[in-house]
Structure 1
Amino acid sequence: MTTIKSRLPQTLTTQRLVLTAPTLDHVPAIAKLCNNKNIHQWMSRLPFPYAEADARFFVETVVPSAEEACYGITREDEFMGVVGLHFAQGELPELGYWLGEPYWGHGYVTEAARAVVAAARAAGASALRSRALSTNARSLNVLGKLGFLETGKGAEPIGPNAGMPATFLRLDWDR
Structure 2
Amino acid sequence: MTALKDRLPTTLTTARLTLVEPIMAHAPDIAKLANNERVHRVMSRLPFPYTEDDARFFIEEVVPSPEEKCFAIKAGEKLIGIIGLRMEAEALPELGYWLGEPFWGQGFATEAGEAMVAAARAGGAQGLRSRALLVNTKSRKVLEKLGFREIGEGTDEKGTLEGQRVMFMRLEFEKR
TM-score by length of 1: 0.99
CA distance in 2, matches of 1:168, 1:161: 14
Secondary structure of 1:168's counterpart equals strand
Q: Match of 2:49?
A: 49
Q: Match of 1:148?
A: 148
Q: Match of 2:102?
A: 102
CA distance in 2, matches of 1:121, 1:76: 26
* Cα deviation code 1:109-128 (max 9, x no counterpart): 11001100000000000110
CA distance in 1, matches of 2:76, 2:92: 33
| RMSD over aligned Cα atoms | 0.6
Q: Match of 1:111?
A: 111
Measured after TM superposition, the shift of residue 161 of structure 1 is: 1.1
Secondary structure of 1:73's counterpart equals strand
Q: Match of 2:132?
A: 132
* Cα deviation code 1:43-66 (max 9, x no counterpart): 000000000000000001101110
Q: Match of 1:15?
A: 15
Secondary structure of 1:88's counterpart equals coil
CA distance in 2, matches of 1:121, 1:99: 23
List 4+ stretches of structure 1 deviating above 3 A.
none
AA aligned to 1:119 is: A
* Cα deviation code 1:80-113 (max 9, x no counterpart): 0001100011111000000000001100011001
Q: Match of 2:67?
A: 67
CA distance in 2, matches of 1:105, 1:5: 29
Q: Match of 2:170?
A: 170
Q: Match of 1:157?
A: 157
AA aligned to 1:4 is: L
AA aligned to 1:144 is: E
Secondary structure of 2:161's counterpart equals coil
Measured after TM superposition, the shift of residue 145 of structure 1 is: 0.3
Measured after TM superposition, the shift of residue 76 of structure 1 is: 1.0
Aligned residues: 175
TM-score by length of 2: 0.98
Secondary structure of 1:64's counterpart equals coil
CA distance in 1, matches of 2:155, 2:84: 22
Counting only pairs closer than 5 Å after superposition, residues 31-42 of structure 1 correspond to structure 2 as 31-42=31-42
* Cα deviation code 1:106-164 (max 9, x no counterpart): 00011001100000000000110000011001100000000100111000121111110
CA distance in 1, matches of 2:70, 2:174: 26
Does structure 1 residue 85 correspond to structure 2 residue 75?
Answer: no
AA aligned to 1:166 is: V
Identity %: 55
